Each structure stands twice: as C-alpha cells, then as structure tokens.
Structure 1
Amino acid sequence: MRMFSAELADRASRLLPNSRALSASREAAPYFAADALGLAAVPTRHVWGRHLAVHREGADGHLVDLGDGLFLAPVDPPRLVRGRRSRRLSELRRAVRALFDLRLALTGGALVAWIALAVATFHSALRLGWVDAIYFTVTTAATVGYGDINLAGAPPWLKLYASLFMILSGIGLALLFALAADAVIGARILQALGVPPRGMRGHVVVVGLGNTGHRIVQHLLDAGVEVAAAEVSEQNRHVGEARRQGVAVLVGDGRYRDSLRALSVEGAAAVIAATDDDLANLETALTAHELNPDARIVIRVFDPEAAMGDGVLSTFEHGSRLWLVAEVWVRPGSPADGMDTALLEREGDLHVLAVRDRAAERWRPAHPDRLEGGHEVLLAGTRERWEQVRALASG
C-alpha cells in the first residue's frame, strides 16, 4: 500500500497480515534535508530495527563491501545540527528583529536629538541643573507639566520655543509608538498571512509544499533549521500546518526572482526545489543559483527507476545505479529453498544482509549460508537482481 500518514501506515501494517505500507515522500525527504544540511552520510531508514547508510570508509562490523571504497553499514541516526527552537522563542526573536526597523531608528534618533537640544536650551535659559532640565523637558514633551517648574516669567522666545517643542514632541512620540506597534504587531500579522520576514539569513528555502516538500520541512525543523517556503496554491493542505509551526510560507511561484527575493534567498544556506514539475524545479534552481551562488542547491527530479515496489524498504545510490534495500519471503519448495547465499552474491550486484525465521534474526556475517523455506531475507542489490531473486523465492 502507498500511504502518506505514517501513523495510519503503521496501524495498517499491524492489522493487515502480509502487507506493507510505504510512503515515497517519507523515503525521499531525509535525503533532501541531509543534502541541504551538507551531511556526508545519509541514512536509508530503519530496516529490521537498524539504520543503514553507505560510507566511503570501512567500519568495524560493516555489513557489505560494495567495492570502489564504499561500504553498506549500520549507523546511528545523524546528530541534529542543534536543538529545535521553541515556537515562542522564534516569535520573540522575530519581534526583537522587527524592532530594528530603519524608520523606527530614524524617528527614535530624531526624537532623542530634539529632546537633548531642549534639555540644553532649558538648562541655559532657565539656569536649571542638568537633572532639573531633563525632568522639565520630559514632563513638557509628555504634556504632563506638574507646575513646579514653569515658564511664567520666561522671555517670549522661550515660551514660543516650548510651545513648538510640545507640538513636535507629541507628534514624534505618537509616530514612535505607531512605528513600534507596526514593527511588533505588524510582524505577527504578516507572519499569520504568510509574508516572509525581511533579512533572513542561514535558513533553508523549500519551494513546493507537496507531500515530499512537507516532509522535508519537518526534517529541517527537527534539525533546528529556520525554514522559508513557497507554494503556488494557498489551498494546499500543508500551507496552514507549516505556518502554525512558524515557517514563513509565501503563496507564489518559486521560479521567479521576486518570489525568491521575498524568501531572502540571497542569505539562504540552501535551496530545495521539490515541486512535482521537473522543469519548474530546474528553473527554480538556476534562478536561486544566480541570486545566491554560495547556496547549496538540491533539486527533485523524477526518475521512473526510483519507483518503489512490493517488499522494497529503501533505496540508495551506488555508483551511477540505484540499489534497493528489500525483503523477500522464501516459499517452501521454491527454487530459492535450499539455495546457497554465496550463489546469490556471486555476481556482486546483490548481497544478503540478514535472515530472519521464527527462532531468531541473524545479521551478516552470522546469517545462515543456505536459505530455507519460511525464511525472511533482507537484501541489498540492483532492481534487476532483486526481481530475479524475488521470482526464485516465490516460484
């Protein structure tokens, strides 16, 4: 069965005997995320309780020597880049960053300079101490005026100056509060509407929020990486979920420069083109590379050879070919019943990783040398050899 929901797939596999639910997006997403993060070894996935990956260096207890300096070996899951940030912390960071607005800085700077000039003026004209001058200036700017210091006996020019000071200070304070509210509250509103924040850096841009793009975003978020995404359809069911997780989602075509610039692609660490259209993915990648030559570019390209089949648990690349990690059940009386495992591995394009029966599960090199009816066998090999072995085992 092909199924997107991992929870439903697990339940279906437990309830329906001799069945397996697979998700192509669940298989592919870890590769895209790991490539964007620059991980050297990408785990295939958990198969029979272990995590498998292709290494370029030998390791103790490696399973299979694939040749050309490559080894298929069990590994621990990759360490995350850093702990996942909480949503509240991310929102606080965005709010603080929103305060560093050029308009807010210019207005605040002008208001401070205007108040400083007034402090010096009142200090000199009224012969006030610096503390009293500051106190009088602040109360005048705020139009509070307690009356303990006043301009009743001041010269006319000072009264006119104080009147102008109160008017301009009131306008300046109102403008300052308005800009501060726009920066903080406006940032939250823009986030809710899916407008990406300006000036993002070190993030990963994901173009396309289909099933695969959604899975990729989840892996990146779990790694603590900030993500911005683009999706052409606002009706996509993953758009709302991504926004609730703090992902800035732009509803627009990620192929265009304006869309990628809105996602701050110039400061992105990586760009993943994961739509269902090969041409759109390639165009997105080329445009992103022009805007940010230093970013890692990961493209989703459809290949009919990569289609998953019955019994296939995962895939990986070996040289220029696609290899499968798959399982097969040996039917009693079939041609594979009683066959030596060395005979299956003779041509070098298939390896027996483990054999499981009712008594035990034995991994290479402790697996039996001869297959028997009722054995479940975990294999790694090319699709052609896998299909041959499957035919022998089911014969």
Structure 2
Amino acid sequence: ARMAGAARAAERDDEGRAGLWALLRSLAAEADRPLRVVIGLQFLVLAISVVVLQAGYVKSDGSRMSIVDALYFTVETIATVGYGDFSFADQETWLRIYAIGLMGGGAVLTAIVFALVTQLLVSRRIEGAFGERRVGAMRGHVVVVGLGTVAIEVVEELVTAGRRVVVIDREEAGRHHPRANALGVPIVIGDATDTAVLDAANLAGAVAVAVLTSDDFVNVETGLVVRERLAERWSSVPVVLRVFDRELAGGVEDGFGFQNVRSTASVAAPWFVGAALGLDVLGTFYVDRTPFLVGKLAVAAGGGLDGLAMRELSERARVVALHRAEGGVEHPPRRDTTFAAGDEAYLVGLPDEVVQVLRRDAPGQPAVGVEMP
C-alpha cells in the first residue's frame, strides 16, 4: 500500500511538473515583445549587479562576495526583503548610491513584469471566451483541422480569398498560432476526433472541412468522425483529407466513400521530377483522382522539340500557350505551328506525359513525336 501511495504521489508530482512546463511554454509562446524586453532588462540588471557586488562589496572579514552571495544579495535588494545578513551601510559611498538605483530600478522592472504577465493571463482568458462566442455565432465558415506548415498556408489562402476559418489544433501553443491569431482566426484547442471539440468549432455551421494534420491515420479517423457528425449534410459539405501515402489515399476513397482525399506524395512528386529535369513547374491540380501538371519549358537549340510540329505531340500533354523567341504569344498554338529554339512552351497534362515532353527536349534527341503506348 505504501509503495502504491508513493507511486501515486510520484505520478502527481510528474503531472504537476508537466503542467508547470506546459504553462511556461504557453506563456513564452504568447508573450509579446514588451514583456520579453522587460524580462531581458531584468536579467541584465541581475548580471551587472553580480559583477558590481563581486568587485566592490567588502565583507566584515575583508573578503569579497562569491557569485552566489552576489546573486542572493541582488535579489534580496530588488525584492526589498532585508534579512540583515548583508548590508550597504558600511560600504563605500559609490556602492550605496548604486544600491539606491538598484532598489528603485529593480522594483520598477519587477512591477512591470508582474503587470505584463497579469495582463497576458487575463487577456488570454478574455480572448478564449470571446473566441468561443465568436465561433458559436459563425456560419458558412471552413473548419481546418491541424495547424502545421501545410495547414497555416491553407488558412492564409482561405482568409485572403475572403473565407471565414476556424482551426482545431491539439497544441495549446503551436508555433503557427501567432500567425493564425494575426489573421483573426479563432483556434479551438482539442482533439478533432472528439465530437465535443467539433461542436465547439461549430461544425454544424461549416460549409467545408479540411483535415490537414501530418498523421495519415489521425486524418482518416478524424474524417470518419466528421462524416458521422455531419450526418445528412455529409453529401453537401466537402471534406478534404490530407494523406501522404498514395495507396492509402485511394483505399480511403474506395473504402469509405470520401471524394476529396489528396495524397501529398502524388502532388509533390511531379514537382520534384519536373524541377530535377529543368521544368519550371507552375502548379498541379486534380481532375477526379487524376493529377495534372502545369509547367513551362524553354525549347533547347538542337533538342528534340526544335522544329517539331504541335500535331506530333502526345494528345495527353498539350501546349496551351507558346511565347515565341522573336516576340509574341500564340494562345493556343495551331497544330501546324513548330517549336523553335528559345521558345517558351506552357504545357498541361499528366505528369508522366509532361516529363516525357521534357525528356524529348534534351539536346541530341530526334525531333519525332512522343506518343506513349
């Protein structure tokens, strides 16, 4: 029993320390510049005072202060505690004058720190309560689950497009929270697989949901809970799931009936392949489950495209615009138009087909069509 009690006490201590560290991390993440500046100044005063006391303070036995004694006496002086173990009464005049400044300045800095910390704590509670009321009153917003690197970019794009956004994030002090706060986007802290958290984000009033955490299985689980919570609105509210694994993305669409599962690997791979081969990738998009690539290439002199007619290209990789080397733009180019060295071609097509066109443009390649079997 004693061992069990000791284990429970140790567990409570661990939870207490974890809670304290979480509070400190949260305060550090939310602290604004004035608070950081004042705290920095206070530490600077402490450091200067330690050096001054070590150099100028003489004890009754004629010895100098240690670093610990100097730090202790500095804190004691700023806090105006005065235990009587150290005193400036018998020190030189310049050191007593320094003590007056240390007590006054230290007390002012300490008061400012307490005031700013209190303001921070109170403002966070007010903002949290206001944010909950604001989310509850929202209609026609987009719920974004997760606030990582991809999610914050999506949030910024949605806000720029004039859409209202509510974010659900597990972390109380995520590194992208300040960016979301600057956009005026309310953040609901919690697990999106919890229906109470979805209700707090007012899922009932949302017009779309984007599940964008970095964990595939969390995204799938969240999507299933969202589908269940939407009930009869499931068919009319788009739910987008970010899934890295391409096969898992297809399985989720086939097995669970999701219409908008996007594999980041499928989207990113054409970018990397095209960029590695010299293609200026302008964008990717999906038509149903099929990814398409938009890119720009410069026709190389003596390459496989130099002198090639448009009609000789694959039907699955189309040139939608051609910026001629001598000036002018053909949009769209005619079928009998031929490429010339220095032209800039804008292509749209399946990634593999666009890459094949790019390969054909390598110097030394024959100027023949690139029809694929």
What's the TM-score once normalised by structure 1's chain length?
A: 0.48
**What is the CA-CA distance between 1:187 and the residue it aligns to?**
9.3
**What is the CA-CA distance between 1:194 and the residue it aligns to?**
8.7
For residue 292 of structure 1, what is the aligned residue in structure 2?
A: 230
**What is the CA-CA distance between 1:305 and the residue it aligns to?**
2.5
Q: Is it true that 1:336 corresponds to 2:305 in the alignment? A: yes
For residue 200 of structure 1, what is the aligned residue in structure 2?
A: 137
For residue 112 of structure 1, what is the aligned residue in structure 2?
A: none
For residue 243 of structure 1, what is the aligned residue in structure 2?
A: 181
Q: Which string of whole-angstrom CA distances, capped at 9 and with x for unpartnered residues, describes residues 204-225 of structure 1? A: 2110112221122223323433
The DSSP-based 3-state class of the residue aligned with 2:297 is strand
**What is the CA-CA distance between 1:320 and the residue it aligns to?**
4.0
For 1:252, the aligned partner's letter is G
For 1:322, the aligned partner's letter is P
The DSSP-based 3-state class of the residue aligned with 1:359 is coil
Higher relative contact order (CA 8 A, sep 6+): 1
1:352, 1:378 within 8 Å by CA — same for their partners in 2? yes
What's the TM-score once normalised by structure 2's chain length?
A: 0.50
For residue 37 of structure 1, what is the aligned residue in structure 2?
A: none
Q: Say what the alpha-carbon RMSD is for the aligned residues.
A: 2.7
Q: For structure 1, which runs of at least 5 residues remain unmatched after alignment?
A: 1-185
The DSSP-based 3-state class of the residue aligned with 1:292 is helix
Q: Which string of whole-angstrom CA distances, capped at 9 and with x for unpartnered residues, describes residues 18-50 of structure 1? A: xxxxxxxxxxxxxxxxxxxxxxxxxxxxxxxxx
2:197 to 259, 262, 265: 259
2:347 to 374, 379, 385: 379
**What is the CA-CA distance between 1:392 and the residue it aligns to?**
1.3
Q: Is it true that 1:392 corresponds to 2:373 in the alignment? A: no
For residue 327 of structure 1, what is the aligned residue in structure 2?
A: 296
Aligned pairs (5 A) from 1:1-395: 189-191=125-127, 196-197=132-133, 199-202=136-139, 203-293=141-231, 294=233, 295-302=237-244, 303=263, 304-307=265-268, 308-309=271-272, 310=275, 311-318=280-287, 320-345=289-314, 348-366=315-333, 369-395=337-363
1:351, 1:381 within 8 Å by CA — same for their partners in 2? yes
Separation in structure 1 between the aligned mates of residue 351 and residue 197 of structure 2, nearest angstrom: 40
**What is the CA-CA distance between 1:252 and the residue it aligns to?**
2.4
**What is the CA-CA distance between 1:227 and the residue it aligns to?**
1.8
Q: Which string of whole-angstrom CA distances, capped at 9 and with x for unpartnered residues, describes residues 86-142 of structure 1? A: xxxxxxxxxxxxxxxxxxxxxxxxxxxxxxxxxxxxxxxxxxxxxxxxxxxxxxxxx
Q: Which string of whole-angstrom CA distances, capped at 9 and with x for unpartnered residues, describes residues 212-267 of structure 1? A: 21122223323433321112234432211212322111232222223212212233
Separation in structure 1 between the aligned mates of residue 208 and residue 349 of structure 2, nearest angstrom: 32
Separation in structure 1 between the aligned mates of residue 327 and residue 317 of structure 2, nearest angstrom: 23
The DSSP-based 3-state class of the residue aligned with 2:176 is helix
1:354, 1:362 within 8 Å by CA — same for their partners in 2? yes
Give the paired residue count: 209
**What is the CA-CA distance between 1:201 and the residue it aligns to?**
3.6
Indicate the percent of aligned positions where both proteins have the same amino acid: 30
